[in-house]
Structure 1
Amino acid sequence: MKIKEFIGSTVLDKNANVVGKVDNIDFNTETGKIETITLTLQKNIFSRDELEISFDDIATIGAYVILNKEIEQEPEVEEEAETVEIEIEDEEE
């Protein structure tokens, strides 16, 4: 697999839950080995977080990157719609 194919790969935790996508790779310049990968975690449309994972935490790389550990994700919080009351007065002519 080429690096450009690895960037953007979907990452699953050991329970097959989607964690995010590979965003960046950090190499050891002396050994040429991958040390860490940075994942982009999409929380919602406008909010993203990053998570750095050690290369040792990767179980397999193929169609998906599968981790050998569980990643806890924050539950999605639904925003309550603000209720607006409007009074309509019936005008009699």
Structure 2
Amino acid sequence: MRAKQFFGITVLDKKVREVGRIEDVEIDTDNGNVTTLIISLNKGLFSNDSIEVDFDAISTIGDYILLNTEIAEEEVEEEKPEKVTVEVDDE
């Protein structure tokens, strides 16, 4: 698998919950091995939250990347928009 094929792959945690997509990878320049995956979290359209996961946390690579660890729900939950109240003056 080529490094560019990682980008955009959907990542699932060990409970098979969708965590996000691969945004970037870190490579050890001494040996050329991928050390870390940077995952863009599914938190909404304008969110840029991401987490880093060690390459060792990967269980399976295929159409999806399945991790052998669980990602906390708080990290993955979509952000709920704040309620806004608008008052209209009927004059």
**Structure 1 Cα separation of the partners of residues 21 and 28 of structure 2:** 21
| Structure 1 stretch displaced more, 61-70 or 75-84 | 75-84
- 1:49 match: 49
Gaps of 5+ in 1: 89-93
Write the deviation string for residues 17-50 of structure 1: whole angstroms up to 9, x where unpaired. Answer: 1111111111111222111111111311111201
1:80 and 2:83 aligned: yes
**SS state at 2:40 partner:** strand
Number of equivalenced pairs: 88
Compute the TM-score of the two structures, normalised by the length of structure 2: 0.82
**Structure 1 Cα separation of the partners of residues 17 and 81 of structure 2:** 20
Aligned identity (percent) is 39
Q: CA deviation at 1:80?
A: 2.3
**Structure 2 Cα separation of the partners of residues 6 and 28 of structure 1:** 16
Specify the code of the residue in structure 2 equivalent to 1:45. Answer: L
Q: CA deviation at 1:5?
A: 1.2
| Structure 1 stretch displaced more, 29-38 or 79-88 | 79-88
Specify the code of the residue in structure 1 equivalent to 2:6. Answer: F
Please tell me whether the aligned partners of residues 42 and 48 of structure 1 are also in contact (alpha carbons under 8 angstroms).
no
Give runs of ≥4 in structure 1 deviating > 6 Å: none
* Structure with the greater alpha carbon radius of gyration: 1
Q: In angstroms, what is the RMSD of aligned CA positions?
A: 1.7
Structure with a larger share of its residues in strand? 1
